[in-house]
Amino acid sequence: MRKFYNMRVPLFVLASLLFGLKTYFVYRFVFNLSIENPMQDFILLINPIASAYLIFALSVWMKSKHQMVYLRWTALVGTLILYFNLIFYRNFTDFITIPVLFQGNNAADLGGSLLTLVHLEDLLLFVDVVAVWYLSKKVPSLATDFQKAGKIATTAVIFLLMTVNVVLAEMERPMLFVRAFDREYLVKNIGIFNYHVYDATMHTKSKAQRVLADGSEISEIENYMRENTESDETSDMFGEAEGKNVIFVSIESFQNFLLDSQVNGKEITPFLNDFKEDEDTMWFKNFYHQTAQGKTSDSEFLIENSLYPLDRGAVYFTHGQNEYNALPEILGENNYYSSVYHANNKSFWNRDVMYDNLGYDKFFSEPAYEQTPDNSFGWGLEDKAFFEQSIKYLQSQGQPFYSKFITLTHHFPFELPEEKANIDKYDSGSNTLNNSIQTARYTDESLKQFIQQLKDAGLYEDSVLVLMGDHYGISDYHNKAMSKFLNKDEITGYDHVQLQRVPFMIHIPDSGEGQTFEKPVGQIDVKPTLLHLLGIEDKNDLTFGTDMFTSDRKDFVAFRDGGFVSNDYIFNKEKCFDRETGEELQKEKAEACQPIKEKVDQELKYSDTLIYGDLFRFYNFDHGEEQPVKKQTNETSTQ
């Protein structure tokens, strides 16, 4: 050890290497970032070392005593940033953004969910921090005392390493910063710490967009919508549910792989299996969720506005006071009473602000329900009690009404008392997947009871029932267990996209319109579809969705990361697959995805422009024309 000390390796160099190698290990084996070639692996190795050197090498400009203090705290803070991203990644398979940090009050309601994401072996991430603290206190000779030339040379190495990192990243992924829909690509190529700097820059830029917007962009976006999303036909389903109530159930974290599946010979979703085949049920077999970091709130935003969520944070938080032309508002103009039922804190996802802005008349939140230790677990009130207690409020509403129900039981970490479980847990290496089978069955039972309660209350016959899974429940982090459940060798990029299919069923009692639709559709299409069924024409509405029943609908479903599903192809992380066979297409054949990819990128960009600029404040939805430009202020809407 004494010989090592005499080598006089500066502590900032040692700290950089330890921290960089630790971060590489997390990238490679905990985040499990995909590596396709040796160059990608080299970039993945060099970028955390370069980032660590950038931060730790600044200490050479400080006095010896201050150097050691700086290195100790920098090692700790850097590790905490890495660890918080790791916790976030385990749940969402994504990385933290600045808008997500503003949603921090949501964490207060997570309860035991966070504990399931903390592992004992995580302590290993702090080994280098302990080493730096020990050496900085016990071996003061590891501090540097460079002359000015030495300090400049050390700083020059910073710029050299960062330049090499950026050049290699651009060689591997051209236009990385221009087409940054996928945060994994950013982290993989420039590192998580540089990614956070980039994220902060983008956040500042997005805030400036509203201040500088003048509404001139609307004409271009409107023309795009008229050419690509507006249908020239009216299907036979127009007005099929005219004047009926709409009861919309958002089923928490429900994916299609649960349907028609069994565990130990027992159906996971016996009710939904039958319901989708009912003669009055229209089941969209290839319906995809399109949410991003806002999860359930993103799914709500999609169905209410037919706009895409943002790729960073949740629109419900960051732009909750924008002008919108939402589904509840349009229905209100057509004499519908609108309400939301959700037994959670009213401020979660900023719902109390956003619902009022979207035009909802009433929000039945946590205080409207009687919660006891017997009927509450996991995230709160169990689904059976939730539906049962909601009926009396539903009966008291004026008709016709549009009422949305948001369930809770099938929510990560999928907690359910054993005495309430009517199916065995699955047996895999993932407790998350294992437990989710029981909560899925419980929610399935609650939906069956709810429909019977609607019949008993006399509300069933005059209502359209819409059942929709809001987003995925099992993330990529559990791919190994999922491959076992699906009896596959591995989860490919094609499989990943297919796992984003969620239940979507429209049930019109006594209609006889039941059938299974194979066409790919998504949450962005829900708003125009419901308006179409209710016989409400809104020609001046600006939406990116298309009525699901028309034959001339647009030919792709876009995802927030730039991927898509079309009639013939699936595109995920720069790979093009044949939609029917799942085969990855090579070279010339893969080029067939590019024209659609360009449309997807354009559509996402237009949607972002509308939201960041709050452009609907310039648009007259009654006449379908741009309003006179208003005087700008520096006020922004960041709830």
pLDDT value for 102 = 64
Question: What percentage of residues in the chain have a pLDDT greater than 90?
Answer: 58
Pairing state between β 401-406 and 337-341:
parallel
Instruction: Indicate if 257 and 205 belong to the same structural domain.
Output: no
**DSSP state letter for 250:** E
Please spell the DSSP secondary structure of 558-617, one letter per residue.
E-TTS-EEESSEEEETTEEEETTT-PBP-HHHHGGGHHHHHHHHHHHHHHHHHHHTTGGG
Instruction: Indicate if 231 and 339 belong to the same structural domain.
Output: yes
Buried b (16+ CB within 10 A) or exposed e, 83-114: eebbebbbbbbbbbbbbbebbeebeeeeeebe
Instruction: Indicate if 180 and 223 belong to the same structural domain.
Output: no
Domain end: 156, 181, 209, which one? 209
Task: Specify if 632 maps to a domain.
Answer: no
Instruction: Indicate if 231 and 342 belong to the same structural domain.
Output: yes
pLDDT value for 192 = 86
Task: Specify if 637 maps to a domain.
Answer: no
- 567 near 579, Cβ under 8 Å? yes
Instruction: Indicate if 74 and 223 belong to the same structural domain.
Output: no
| Measured distance CA(201)–CA(198) in Å, rounded | 5
pLDDT value for 623 = 58
241-255, 260-274, 345-359, 469-483: lowest mean pLDDT where?
A: 345-359
Considering the chain, what is the average pLDDT of its residues? 88
Buried b (16+ CB within 10 A) or exposed e, 444-473: bbbbbebbebbeeeebbeebbbbbbbbbbb
pLDDT one-digit tens code per residue, 70-96: 999 999 999 999 998 888 888 767 788
Task: Identify the burial level of 396 via C-beta atoms within 10 angstroms of its C-beta, where 0-12 means exposed, 13-18 middle and 19 or more buried.
Answer: exposed
**Which phi-psi region, left, alpha or beta, contains residue 344 (left: φ > 0; alpha: ψ -120 to 50)?**
beta
For the entire predicted model, the pTM comes to: 0.78
pLDDT, mean of residues 206-223: 84
Task: Specify if 634 maps to a domain.
Answer: no
pLDDT value for 89 = 83
Residue of 23, 79, 93, 296 marked active site: 296
pLDDT value for 636 = 34
Tokens encoding 272: 């939904």
Please spell the DSSP secondary structure of 380-397, one letter per residue.
EE-HHHHHHHHHHHHHHS
Instruction: Indicate if 146 and 254 belong to the same structural domain.
Output: no
Instruction: Indicate if 196 and 117 belong to the same structural domain.
Output: yes
pLDDT value for 103 = 61
Instruction: Indicate if 222 and 200 belong to the same structural domain.
Output: no
Q: Catalytic residue at 443?
A: no
The most confident of 176-185, 198-207, 474-483, by mean pLDDT: 474-483
Instruction: Indicate if 413 and 433 belong to the same structural domain.
Output: yes
pLDDT value for 500 = 97
Count: domains in the chain = 2
Domain end: 151, 180, 209, which one? 209
pLDDT value for 174 = 67
- Token match 């069933």: residue? 460
Task: Specify if 633 maps to a domain.
Answer: no
Instruction: Indicate if 117 and 223 belong to the same structural domain.
Output: no
Task: Specify if 30 maps to a domain.
Answer: yes
CATH of the domain at 480: 3.40.720.10
Look up the domain containing 561 and give its range.
218-626
Instruction: Indicate if 139 and 180 belong to the same structural domain.
Output: yes
**Phi, psi for residue 250 in degrees, rounded to 5:** -90, 110
Task: Specify if 559 maps to a domain.
Answer: yes
pLDDT, mean of residues 358-383: 93
pLDDT value for 320 = 86
Task: Specify if 636 maps to a domain.
Answer: no
Domain end: 166, 192, 209, which one? 209
pLDDT value for 153 = 84
pLDDT value for 161 = 83
pLDDT one-digit tens code per residue, 161-192: 888 887 887 777 766 665 555 677 788 888 88
Task: Specify if 635 maps to a domain.
Answer: no
pLDDT value for 111 = 52
pLDDT value for 180 = 52
pLDDT one-digit tens code per residue, 95-151: 887 766 766 555 545 555 667 788 888 899 999 999 999 888 888 878 888 888 888
Task: Identify the burial level of 155 via C-beta atoms within 10 angstroms of its C-beta, where 0-12 means exposed, 13-18 middle and 19 or more buried.
Answer: middle
Instruction: Indicate if 275 and 405 belong to the same structural domain.
Output: yes
pLDDT value for 177 = 66
